[in-house]
Each structure stands twice: as C-alpha cells, then as structure tokens.
Chains A and B, each alone.
Chain A
Amino acid sequence: MMDFQVVVLAGGTAKKLAPLVSKEVPKALLPVANRPVLSYVLELLESSNLKDLIVVVEGEDAALRVGGWISGAYVDRLHVEVAAVPEDVGTAGALRAVAHHLTANDVLIVSGDLVSDVPPGAVAATHRRHGAVVTTLLCYAPVSGPSDTGSSAGKDKVKKSRYNIVGLDPTRQLLLHIAAGAEVEKDIRVQKNILRAVGQLEIRADLMDAHMYAFKRTVLQDVLDQKDTFHSIRQDVLPYLVRTQLRSEISANGLHKVEDNANGRVSSQNYVTWMSQHREIAPSAYQELLALSPRSPENALRTHKCCAYIASKSKYCARLNSIQAFSDINRDVVGEASHLSGYSFSSQNNIIHPSAELGSKTTVGPQCMLAEGSQMGDKCSVKRSIIGRHCRIGSNVKIVNSVVMNHVTIEDGCLVQGSVICSNVHLQERVVLKDCQISPM
C-alpha cells in the first residue's frame, strides 16, 4: 500500500549498557518484561502493516543471534532481512551500508530500542501529506526521574538531562530548529532567516527526538553520499536538513521532485509573499521582481520541508539506551504502560505464570511479573519487579524495583533493591544489593 521501506537500527553490544549486554545478549535482545526489546518495535511496525523490514545489527555475532531469534519468533508474520555492519559506524554509517537495498520512495528508520505505542503509520502519513524530506517523531520527554528508587546518581542526571531543543512553527507541523547532543546544553542559536519566514517560532525543551524518522529516500541517499563525515542521523543528518531547509543544497534529483510536488513550492510562494508586502508601496518593483524571479531555476530559492509528528502526551515512548532506561522501561511495561507488554494481568494487577511456585506467606505485589518455572521460598516479598524464567529464590528474600533475568539463583535472606540481575547469576545467602547491576561475566 504505502511505498515505504523500513530500516530498524538494532545496534550491537552498546558499551553504555554494560554489563547488561554481552556477546550472548546483544542490545536488541535485552529483555523487557521477559521479551526482547526488539520485539516491541517489530510488533509496533506490524500493527501499522509495515512488514518489509531490514534490521541492521552491529557486529556479525550479534547479527547472527538477532537473526536467529527473529526467524524463530516471526517466521510467518514478517519479512525481515538482517544485515550486519561493523561496530561503531554510527547510525549514518549503518544506513550507508544498506543504502543499496533501498528502493522505495520513502524510508522509515526506527531505532531498535524504541518501546512505544505511537503508530509508525501516523508518522509515515504525516510525511506523505507534507511532501517532506524528513519527518521525525517527537515525544514528550519524561518529566520526573525514576520513581522512589531514587538513586542519587539517577536524580542528578534527570535534573540535567534535556534531550533536545526543538523549534516548531505555530501549527507545530514544521520542524524549524533542532539541537541535539552537546549543543542542547549550550545557548540556543536560532537562524534568523527561518524565524523571519514564519514570524513565530516555538522553542521547546520538553520534547525529544524518539529516533523514528521518515525520509525521502533520494534525499537521504544524497546526504549520506555527499556528507561522508556524517556519523549520526540524530546529530548530523537531521540537524543538517533542518538548518538548510530554506536554502536547500540537496542535489537536483532529490530536490526537483520536491519542487514539482504541489506541497513543495514554499520557495516561490515565499517570493510572492515578499513581493506582495511591497506591492502597495512600490508597485513598479513588484511587477519587475515578479517577472524576474519566481521560478527560473537559477533564481528560485530552493527549499525543502522538515516536519515533525508530535506524539500525544498519553502515548508511551521511551528508548532503551541506558541502564536507567532499562529499569524504567521494565517498570513501566508492567506498570503504567502495561498495555505494551501484551500480557493479561491478574486481578492483583500482576502476572504470575501458572507454572511458578510460591512458598507460604510469600507475596507478589502489583506491577510485578513472575515468569514460567520460577520458584520462590517462604516469606518472600516482591514489589514492582520482574523475575524471569526458571529462577530459584530462597526464603525471606525481598526484591523491590528490580529486574531479575532468567536462571538466577538467589539464596535465603537476600535483599535486592533497584538492581538488575542478569541471567545465570548466583546470589548466596544474605546478599544485600542496592542500585547494582550484576552479570556473570
């Protein structure tokens, strides 16, 4: 139906997520409520009927593992091609590597670590409607930090962290300014010519680039070809397209199509607006200029459109790109955003697999998950935590605000709080963990 190709950038074994990721568990396969995080994106795309996907993974090994999992899980549902790229090529590099596979008019690029319920179809439709060269999904940045777990380090970060500075037109459809990365913490520098073109610019610090973009394919390929130093979509390609939108320098084949498009005539329209402002006071000049300029190729200002799709505040949108995010997303998916998990919750608002065994006086609170085959001893207490498959947990164990992956053994009297315990870890008696990440390697 829609001529869209989808590229999912699934990353590799991101250092930022150490020690959670490993050779065995690349980032894409990190569990969120006991499902690989990549499954959230794939199912989101599937729900918008986008089933032709290219999944790009950094590193051969990781690609093999991800590919293996996908072919097992989605064999009849999706048509997925998995491509491996070298590590550290950046998102732009990853796209360069698969550029020759792209043939559709538009390309939807999604980060594999996105956990969201914003329909990609809506982003694609906005993109098409405006004839934009790029449309990016913006969502509300999380306002408050993590809940009561409140690790001090986390709090500091939340105070400081601002994701993007975004400039929008009064209708909030055009993306007129974006600052990403280190620039976000600096003074805001707005291009005057862009402000003049719109008259009013809304500058916001409460939105973040959710790393879902619709690109016009030819433009994307041109930029990737011409700007070989561009490393990142978010920090290089997108800001570049945004800041050059009133004087596009994308080569002809990318651009003329835009101009032919009824939506793309911003330039000549602008020109007429300029002129008409002066029609009253300088009628002769008006005629002359109109004759001189409007669409002759060397004079017309070439422009292109960058658009934004702003997800409504009620939508969930998060990227699993830090340990903090890992904990938060796991908490949310069985908590406030439980519809994302795909599980059905019990009347106590938790999920306890029928095969799980609980000792006497053991309580599992709301917003918890206990997966198949796990056993818990007596007088245990689990609050706002996720426990994976086939875990052995002794008596008098308290687990709060934590994620416990598969095949973990926790002996009697342990206290686990605000922590992540990776698969195959063994905790002996009376271990106290607070805000820790434990991995067997």
Chain B
Amino acid sequence: MAQKKGHRSLSSDDPEELARVPLQAVLLADSFATKFRPITLERPKVLLPLVNAPMIDYTLAWLESVGVEEAFVFCCAHSQQVKDYLNKSQWMKQPGTFTVQPIESHDSISAGDALRVIYNLGVICGDFVLVSGDTISNMSLKEALQEHKERRKKDPLAVMTMVIKHSKPSSLTHQTRLGNDEILMAIDPDTKELLYYEDKTDQSQRFITLDKMLLASTPTLHLHNDKQDCYIDICSPEVLSLFTDNFDYQHLRRHFVKGLLVDDLMGYKIFTHEIHSSYAARIDNFRSYDTISKDIIQRWTYPMVPDVQYFGNCSQMKLDRLGIYKAPEVDQSRTAQIRAFSLIGNGTAIGDHSVISNSVIGQSCTIGRNVSIQGSYIWDNVIIEDDCKLSHALVCDGVHLRAGVVLEPGVILSFKVEVGQKIVIPAYSKVSLLPQPSKQDSDEELEYADANSGVVESPSITSIANTRNVDPVPDSPDAEHSDTSEVGISGVGYIWSTTEGGHEEEWRHSIAPIPAEKLMEFCLSAHTDLGVSNQDVNSLPASGELQLDSESTGFDDGEDYKDSADFEKEVEATFQRVLAGVNPENVILEINSLRLSYDMSHADCAGSLFYSIMKSALSAPFSSNRELLLNTGKELSRWKDLLKNCLKTIDEEIEVLLKFEEMCLETTKEFAPLFSAILNHLYEKDILSEDAILSWAEEKEGADESDKVFVKQSEPFLKWLREASEDEDD
C-alpha cells in the first residue's frame, strides 16, 4: 500500500503518467502496392514466408518485444486469409499482455484510408507505433518512445518520430542494398527534427533545392542521402485526425510526411530517431526480400533467427557451422552438398549430387539429383526433378519443376506453377497460374499508391505469343500435353509480360544480382554526365565581388523551370478534364486561377494550354506525319476557341510560337518535321496573327544558328506572309 502511494505521489504532477494508456500499435497488413505480384494475387504479402516464418510473425514478435500491449492488424487485400492465419496462430490465443486484434476493411486503397478507418473506429487512445506487416526489426523502442513523449510534453506539435538507420546507397545505381531508391533528408542536428524528405528524387536534376526558410530557425542542418527510412513511426493520435482532415493524403511518406513538412501554417513537426546497432528494415520489393533473408540467416536480426524460438515457428532448426540451418528431419543424400548460408526445412529430401548454396528451402520439398540451387528461395512442397538449375529465383508453394528446367536469375514462379522438361525460363520472368490482370480489371485502387513507381504492368494477358520466348526443347517426348500448357510442354502457368519500361527497371527490384552490363552502363554514363554538368557550371555567369547585392548569380533559371513545370502539369491536367467533358468555360476560369496562384503571366498560360492541346493531338494514334498533321489540325480546330481565350495580345501569340519551337526541340520531337505546316495551319485558322508570326521571325534573326532551325523551315511561308503584307500596304 505504502509503495503504491509513493508511486502515485511521484507521478502525480505528470498527467501523462496518471492517464497511463497501454502502448498501442497499428500494423498495416497490406502494403497497398503491387511489387510482389503475381504472388500477392493469391496470398497477402504479410503471410509470405521469410526464411521460415510468415513476415507478419516477425513484425508481431517485434511489437510484443518492445512492449506493445495492443496491436491492431489492419487487413484489406485477402483479409480473410490474414484473419484466418491470426486466428489459428498463437497470437490470438495467448493470454499475456499482448493482444492482437484484426481490423478488416474492404474499400481501403491506401495507408491513408486505413488510418482513416482506424480513426473512425476510435480505438487509438494514445501514442502508437505505426508499422507495416513486412517490417523486420530487433530495435528497442524505449529510447525513441521516451524521446517522443518528452518532445510531446514540450511541444504538442511534434506528432511523429520516424526511425532511420545509416545506409549509403550505391553511387552508381542510387539505390540502397534493400533496393529502395535513395532518400534525401534534411535533419536538424540538434533537435533531430526532419526538415526535408524526398524519396523519389528526380535523377535528371543535378541540384537539390532546399527552401531558404529551413535555415531561418536553425543555423545548421544536415543533408543526408545515407539514411534509410525504416518505416517504423511513433505517432501521436493527432496523426490519425490529420489523415482524416486531409482526406487526400494517401501515402504515408509522399503525402503525409511531405504534406506536414511543407505546411508551415499548422506547424506540425516530425522528428527522427536514428538507430545504430540494432536492425530495422522493411521488405518493399524482391531485392529487399533477398537482402533481409540473408541478414536473418547471417543473424543480424538476432534474436529473430531461425534457430531461436521467438514465436510460433516451433523451430527446432539446428545451426551448423558456415551458417547452415537444418530442420531435424531432412533427408539428404550423402553426396548432396549444402553450402554456406542455407536453410533446409523439415521433411525436405535432397537427391544425389545436388548442390545448394545461399538458399532457403522450405518444408516437404523434394529435390532430385544433380540439382543446383544458388541464391534462391524455395517455399514449401516444391518438387524439383533431376538436373534442374536454379539461380536467384523465387519458387512458391507447390511448384513442380520437371527434369532439366533452368531458372535464370530473377525468375519468380508463383503458386503451383508447373514447368515442363528442359524449359529455360528467361531472366526476370514472372510465372503464375493466374493470368496477368489487365489494367481494367486489376485493382486499380491497389495500384494507386504505387502509380508512379516506375513498375508498369502490362495491360494484356500474355498468351501463347509469350511462350515462344520460352525455348521448348525440340525433341521433347511429351508432345501430347503441349496444348494444355503455357509454360512449356506439360507445364501450367502464364508468363507475365512486363512492358518495355517495366522491364527496364525490373533488375532494380529483383532477387538477381545487378547485371554487370548495367553497372558498366552506369559507370560510363556517370562519366558522360560529368561532362554535361561541367558545361552547366561554366555557363553560370560570374558575379561581382564589390556589388554585394548583385543579382547576377546564376541559378534563377532552374527555379523558374521548376515552377513552370508544375504549372504546365496543372494546366495539362485541367485540359484533360475538358477532354473528359467539363465545360470549357469552367476550364478557362480554372486556368486563370492557376495562373494567379503560380504567379504566371498570360503568356505562360497560352504556352501551356497550347502544349496540352498538342499533346492530346499526339496521343491519338498515327502512323505517318500526314496523319499526325491531320490529327493536329482537328485538335486545333476543336480547341481554337479555348486557346483564343488566352491569346489576348501579340505577346501571347509569340509565346505560343516559342513554346512550339521548344516542344519540337525537346518534349515532342514528333512535330519537328511538321513545324512549318502546323504554323501555316495556325495562321489559316486565325489562331496566330500575321504580326505575331513575323515578329517571332524577327526576334529570331539575331539568334544562334541552332535556334533558327524552325525559322528556316518556315522560310517559304514567312516569305509569302511578308509579301502578302507588303501587298496590303501598297
């Protein structure tokens, strides 16, 4: 009793302590992304096995270990599977202080929606940990929580603490070892406040531009590209209401974090907590799946390693030397070799002379003779017949590889795929029993969060055409099965196609090592880049020492460019709405208000609108220049009135011409050969006046030869115009 009293009086002046709330966590069991397709079409990402346990178990085990008492598991895609799993697992049964409660939603399309759902449920009553169900960590949250709470006491606007870790991205590929893009952060070294966050850096920009106001309150800031975002956040309850207030926030980082940092009206602040010796990482793509699996096997995540029972993995794994883990019942041929950093699951049989290195093999797999498995992940109940060769592949449950199959690096075989004899699956292929969803019937919402991630999925179902890429061995005996198969003879499955752009980037997020040619390419481009940027530096005008207020220092162009690019995009989006049927008059209003908010001139409006129109002309299919010209003509007549609205004076008309020239040189080179023809058209349709065209030509007189390409092209027309005007004067 006395003790209790003492305790009370100690903390009585601390309201936080008086109203002590259990530490809560929100675990998002849906990444709202599509990077693990096709596997995630059949099973949610959080239930995919990582080394020998589903990812969500690692996250839950970690949450329990850091003292979380209530974890809300938010399930959306495949929610039933997640719930079933949780119900069966010991997480729901165990009586202890850690309770797991699933929250189901069927219409959430982003982390933002998920948090709004949770807000509406009203279950969060204090600071909470926000993680996704694919987070692997062994860090202690004590310090970070303490820091967060203390900051909150002093400053109620400090709503979030983000966990970060040192990780330097490669200077060649600009991605981290987890396959994530490089992240730029600016952090106040004293307060650890996050001042700037950019995870999708535009590689073509050579400069990072930081608002000068960042240095207004602090004399020093640290700009980092060597920190990794662990995606572990300690949030105050306000975070949930912020998501509700800003219903357009979808992505945790791209919308929420950046939104908070940019908005200085509300003054909310985000802080960082750096961990040094402990582990924290998130599985975002196949490359991080590979990296983190290796980290687990190499015990960086201790105690979350295969041979320690930290949750229901009922592990009796034995660790041999060289990082080889073996379940008790492995039927291994005496001549089979298991090399360093591998794990073999229970009930798996390995045939003679097979070699396994750097790989994880699940339970009850059957591996034939002379099989070579290198750097691969084989899940449960997989049958691999004799003489197969697998390198850096991911093979899901129930896959059957017949004799002599070769999986090249980066191959993903989804559940129950069967591959016929001696088939070579080319690098980076993804094979699934399910057809590739077309753009229309794919969960568009699911892709939302990832819309600009650069991984473009092909809109069409791949069919026989694609199987031709797979080299069937001509003398295959099982010819009779061929018509039932998509993956070679006696095989079952679709090979998903990746569009050109997608394939380009495929290597970034693959399990396969980065190909040597790619590195060479980067190396060489690094050199040429430097050449280019040298010119850029030289072109900076010099400024004078004695004129302190000289305005002649070089960078203005870049800033303008950024703003005007944004503006252009906005105008284009607005124009798209006209195409979608919005009344053009409203659009004129909208464009005008855009002009005011971006502080642009009428001429900029005219240029941007013209650009949008031309782009829409370009979007219609065409096979020849003639057709393009026709399309352009049609579009221009259609939008003439709209465009005329912006062309009040000759200045705007000239701007349109300059813009057109720039487009022909840069963004839409397709128009370059048609410049003169379109110019003629613009004149005939009364969009551009004679005066405007002639003064444009005059303006260009003194320009560089390279600038005069289009004037030259249009010379006959200009000549005709001049003569015509002279005639009139006479």
Contact = CB atoms under 8 A, between A and B. Distances in A.
Size bracket of the A interface: 35 or more
A230 interface: yes
Contacts of A299: 527
Nearest to A232: B545
A330 to B, nearest CB: 22
Given A165-B215, A182-B543, A282-B513, A192 B208 contact: yes
B537 interface: yes
Interface stretch (B222-230, B433-441, B671-679): B222-230
Interface residues of B, number: 57
Interface string A270-288: 1001100110111011001
Contact of B171 (A92, A247, A274): A274
B246 interface: no
A188 B222 CA distance: 13
Nearest to B547: A181
Interface in B506-547: 513-517, 519-520, 523, 527, 530, 533-534, 537, 541-546
A199 B226 contact: yes
A189 B551 contact: no
A301 B211 CA distance: 31
A295 interface: no
Given A91-B545, A181-B553, A247-B533, A285 B516 contact: yes
A201 B214 CA distance: 15
Given A199-B168, A199-B224, A205-B219, A188 B530 contact: no
Contacts of B211: 187-188
A179 to B, nearest CB: 8
Contact of A182 (B205, B207, B514, B551): B551
B215 A188 contact: yes
Contacts of A356: none
Nearest to B219: A206
Contacts of A195: 184, 208, 223, 225
Contacts of B552: 182
Contacts of B224: 199-201
Contact of A232 (B169, B516, B519, B546): B546
Interface string A248-289: 010000000000000000000010011001101110110011
Nearest to B291: A281
A202 interface: yes
Nearest to B562: A187
A189 B207 contact: yes
Contacts of A230: 542
B314 interface: no
B223 A200 contact: yes
Interface in B201-226: 201, 205-212, 214-215, 219-226
A282 B558 contact: no
A277 B523 CA distance: 13
A282 B515 contact: yes
A136 B519 CA distance: 37
A233 interface: yes
Interface string B156-175: 00000000000011111010
Given A188-B209, A201-B222, A203-B215, A232 B171 contact: no
B533 A231 contact: no
A236 interface: yes
A243 B212 contact: no
Interface in A278-317: 278, 280-282, 284-285, 288-289, 292-293, 299, 301
A301 B530 contact: yes
Given A181-B553, A200-B226, A229 B210 contact: no
A186 B559 CA distance: 10
A299 B527 CA distance: 8
Interface string A192-227: 110111011111111000000000000000000001
Nearest to A302: B530
Contact of B210 (A190, A200, A281, A289): A190
A247 B530 contact: yes
Given A183-B553, A200-B222, A277-B171, A188 B214 contact: yes
Contacts of B546: 88, 90, 231-232
B513 A187 contact: no
Interface string A143-184: 000000000000000000010010100000000000001110
A205 B218 CA distance: 8
B222 A181 contact: no
A206 B219 CA distance: 5
A220 B56 CA distance: 61
Interface in B228-254: none
A136 to B, nearest CB: 14
Nearest to B523: A289
Contact of A235 (B174, B223, B527, B545): B545
Contacts of A197: 171
B223 A231 contact: no
Contacts of A206: 219-220
Nearest to A236: B542
B549 A203 contact: no
A191 B533 CA distance: 10
A289 B516 CA distance: 9
Contacts of B182: 196
Contact of B172 (A90, A183, A278, A292): A278
Given A88-B546, A200-B224, A282-B514, A190 B551 contact: no
B561 interface: no
Residue in B211, B513, B514 with the greatest tally of chain A CB atoms within 10 Å: B513
A428 B698 CA distance: 67
A389 interface: no
B548 interface: yes
B459 to A, nearest CB: 32
B189 interface: yes
A301 B225 CA distance: 21
A234 B546 CA distance: 10
Given A282-B519, A299-B527, A232 B543 contact: yes
A185 interface: yes
Given A193-B533, A247-B534, A278-B514, A181 B543 contact: yes
A309 to B, nearest CB: 18
Contact of A187 (B221, B553, B559): B559
Nearest to B206: A192
B706 to A, nearest CB: 23
22 contacts: A90-B545, A90-B546, A181-B549, A186-B212, A190-B210, A192-B206, A196-B171, A196-B225, A197-B171, A199-B168, A201-B223, A202-B222, A202-B223, A203-B215, A203-B222, A205-B215, A235-B543, A244-B537, A247-B530, A247-B534, A282-B515, A289-B520
Closest 5 CB pairs of A and B: A232-B545, A199-B226, A285-B516, A206-B219, A281-B513
Given A181-B549, A195-B223, A202-B221, 5 more contacts: A90-B544, A92-B545, A182-B552, A235-B544, A278-B514
